[in-house]
């Protein structure tokens, strides 16, 4: 995807955001001196084989202008760096090198008020743009989802009830599920891409059940991928 194409996709998201109001954490955008309607769509390399897929943006993501860079996102980045380079990153500048090898994005490229997930209606409103990003422009085939909301975003792309059934299984954090994403490209043509979903719990310190286990769970996932 060229810089021009990515700018065009962001502009179309921006136009959709302007079309009708939806919940935004305006105080956070104002504190960061950012236009709340400008989407923070993705970061990383569209040639990378792996995508980390989160729920939505947080305060740190708005400030930095990229997904998955706060406390939870840093845990993800550190885990990937460890698997990739075989050691810990020496500093944040070195840690940023992970963006050379993967894609980072979310269900919605905006920050909702507080820590509440966006409604299904808002997710579906911006779904076509995330579909285009993943199907028409990203070149990879492995997606690690972070948390329940991120994984369930993919429900429309499996057989009826398939995604929900998979997530109820006791081995959901060890197994993979293949689904076929669809998107309408810039020429109005239907495009498809098969991807492997690899769910993990959300790496938030508030997730007391899995937070301590997350680094090893992530390493187990990354051992399954060539990147």
pLDDT at 186: 84
Structure tokens at 152: 């369930």
pLDDT at 2: 55
pLDDT at 93: 96
pLDDT at 4: 72
Helical residues (DSSP H) of the chain, grouped into ranges: 3-19, 26-31, 59-64, 71-85, 92-95, 120-132, 148-152, 162-168, 214-222
pLDDT at 44: 96
Structure tokens at 188: 């109005």
pLDDT at 6: 87
Closest to 111 measured CA to CA, from 176, 174, 17:
17
The domain limits of the chain are 3-222
Determine the straight-line distance between the first and last CA of the chain, rounded to whole angstroms.
19
Among 3.30.70.3190, 2.170.130.10, 3.40.470.10, 3.40.50.1000, what is the CATH number of 3-222?
3.40.470.10
98-148 per-position pLDDT tens digit = 999 999 999 999 999 998 999 999 999 999 999 999 999 999 999 999 999
CB atoms under 10 Å from CB of 77, counted, come to 22
Is residue 180 helix, strand or coil?
strand
Closest to 111 measured CA to CA, from 54, 61, 42:
61
24-33 per-position pLDDT tens digit = 999 999 999 9
As a whole number of angstroms, the distance between CA 69 and CA 206 comes to: 17
Contact status, residue 196 vs residue 141, Cβ threshold 8 Å: yes
List, for the chain, all residue ranges whose pLDDT scores fall below the cut of 50. 1
pTM of the full predicted structure?
A: 0.96
Annotate 4-65 with DSSP letters as a single string: HHHHHHHHHHHHHHHHS-----HHHHHHTT--TTS---EEE-TT-SEEEEES---HHHHHHT
As a whole number of angstroms, the distance between CA 203 and CA 106 comes to: 14
Structure tokens at 108: 């919605």
């Amino acid at each position: 995807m060229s810089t021009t194409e990515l700018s065009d996709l962001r502009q179309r998201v921006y136009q959709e955001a302007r079309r009708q109001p939806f919940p935004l954490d305006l105080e956070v955008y104002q504190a960061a001196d950012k236009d709340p309607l400008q989407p923070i769509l993705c970061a990383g390399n569209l040639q990378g084989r792996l995508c980390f897929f989160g729920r939505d943006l947080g305060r740190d993501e708005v400030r930095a202008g990229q997904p998955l860079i706060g406390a939870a996102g840093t845990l993800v980045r550190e885990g990937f760096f460890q698997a990739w380079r075989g050691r810990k990153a020496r500093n944040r500048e070195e840690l940023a090198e992970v963006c050379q090898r993967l894609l980072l994005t979310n269900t919605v490229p905006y920050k909702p008020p507080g820590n509440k997930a966006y409604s299904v209606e808002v997710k579906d409103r911006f779904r076509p743009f995330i579909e285009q990003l993943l199907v028409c422009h990203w070149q990879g085939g492995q997606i690690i989802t972070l948390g329940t909301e991120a994984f369930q975003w993919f429900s429309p792309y499996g057989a009826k009830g398939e995604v929900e059934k998979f997530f109820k299984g006791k081995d959901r954090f060890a197994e993979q599920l293949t689904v076929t994403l669809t998107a309408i490209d810039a020429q109005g043509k239907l495009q498809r891409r098969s991807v492997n979903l690899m769910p993990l719990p959300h790496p938030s310190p508030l997730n007391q059940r899995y937070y301590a286990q997350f680094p090893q769970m992530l390493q187990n996932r990354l051992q399954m991928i060539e990147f």
